[in-house]
Chains A and B, each alone.
Chain A
């Protein structure tokens, strides 16, 4: 006899959290970034959590910190205000953001009949009591909704349920790998974003002045800090228990958007294998551990020319004469140019190595 399942749910027990790296465990780029506020956007320290900063005099240090709430995560994202800014210009902002591909949001059914509610939950604490905002922003249709939340000096879980948005019934998220939705946590904003009425009860076409009304300023004092972890976004009206995920699974999800390879044990470890094309020039190929969102268009490296070398013909090491450079990518591999001053790579196979533990090659496919 066949018996029907009785526990079927729109929110499956595993894989219900749409957020990647919500436990703040993966920080490929670095564990700390100083001076945030000088530029408009920062992709670190935590993978998948972008920091957007408008024009502001305020500065902060963001770090992965081992101070998470017991039983939720050992790690959290910490903001520490290093320069206060109490004269808030109209265009200023400070946002923590996670961006989502439309193809990963189809379970929400947004923009058409039958659209579902979304519940966002996260753990926060600060040095004192603050009011900040959590916003969902639909990039495909320029619609948004924001809700205020409170922070105290102790860890607490914030649970916010956002209503379904049918919109005009014909405006779903794109079912593709492009940006469709952002989750923002707003910690500081100027009048461009605060001079209206907070749009908190239903989704509406975006009006900048209604996005972050009523929030305090993280930059009000250098005493200020802010801690965040256990971030979850799921379909439905209920904040379920934070979904735990093993490190390897989270890392692989993060590597769809950013992959950094480096030397961790020995300077004999290669970044990839290659082939010389002339007396001085050859390319190595590095296979990515997972298919990236798009083919990267840049190569990042750290160091100077002599931090890199080739290991080739006759077992000889030859120092590079310039840093490795971008020479093409697919979504599965990166081709990087290694240049030397002599002929060790001349039409021969070689390894492309680093000589310093801080040397790395990295590729980005962030939204």
Chain B
């Protein structure tokens, strides 16, 4: 399972899972768990959001 950027035309970017079953915003806990687990190998579109500061990888609780 991975995520990609679905669109950036709303108030904030929407991300979609690779199986198309789940769409979410950047603070979503499931997306954040995936981001932390794959921090060093993120897809380019996701990495671009992180680099631009529009997607923040939060520390685990």
Residues of A within 8 A of B (CB): 297-302, 304, 323, 325-328
Contacts and interface: CB of A to CB of B under 8 A. Distances in A.
A297 B14 contact: no
Contacts of B27: 297
Contacts of A304: 20
A326 B21 CA distance: 11
Nearest to B6: A325
A298 B25 CA distance: 7
Contact of B14 (A302, A323, A325): A325
* Interface majority SS (helix, strand, loop, mixed), chain B: mixed
Given A298-B23, A300-B22, A326-B14, 10 more contacts: A297-B28, A298-B30, A299-B22, A299-B24, A300-B21, A301-B22, A302-B21, A323-B20, A327-B14, A328-B11
A297 B16 contact: no
A301 to B, nearest CB: 6
Chain A interface, >50% SS class: strand
Contacts of A326: 14, 23-25
B38 interface: no
A297 B24 contact: yes
Contacts of A301: 21-22
A308 to B, nearest CB: 12
Contacts of A298: 22-25, 28, 30-31
Nearest to B11: A328
13 contacts: A297-B25, A297-B28, A298-B31, A299-B22, A299-B23, A300-B22, A301-B22, A302-B21, A325-B6, A325-B16, A325-B23, A326-B25, A328-B11
Interface string B4-19: 0010001100101000
A301 B23 CA distance: 9
Nearest to B1: A39
A364 to B, nearest CB: 8
Contacts of B31: 298
Contacts of B23: 298-299, 325-326
Nearest to A281: B9
B49 to A, nearest CB: 16
Contacts of A297: 24-25, 27-29
Q: Which 4 A-B pairs have the closest CB atoms?
A: A298-B24, A297-B28, A325-B23, A326-B23
Nearest to A336: B23
A300 B21 CA distance: 6
A328 to B, nearest CB: 7
Contacts of B6: 325
Contacts of A323: 20
Contacts of A328: 10-11
A304 B21 CA distance: 9
A327 B30 CA distance: 17
Nearest to A302: B21
A300 B30 CA distance: 12
Contacts of B11: 328
Contacts of B16: 325
B7 to A, nearest CB: 8
B10 to A, nearest CB: 6
A326 B24 CA distance: 6
A297 B30 CA distance: 9
A82 B29 CA distance: 30
Contact of B10 (A299, A300, A302, A327): A327
A142 B10 CA distance: 40
A333 to B, nearest CB: 16
B45 to A, nearest CB: 16
B24 to A, nearest CB: 3
B56 to A, nearest CB: 14
Q: Which of B21, B27, B31 has the most CB of A within 10 A?
A: B21
Nearest to A40: B33
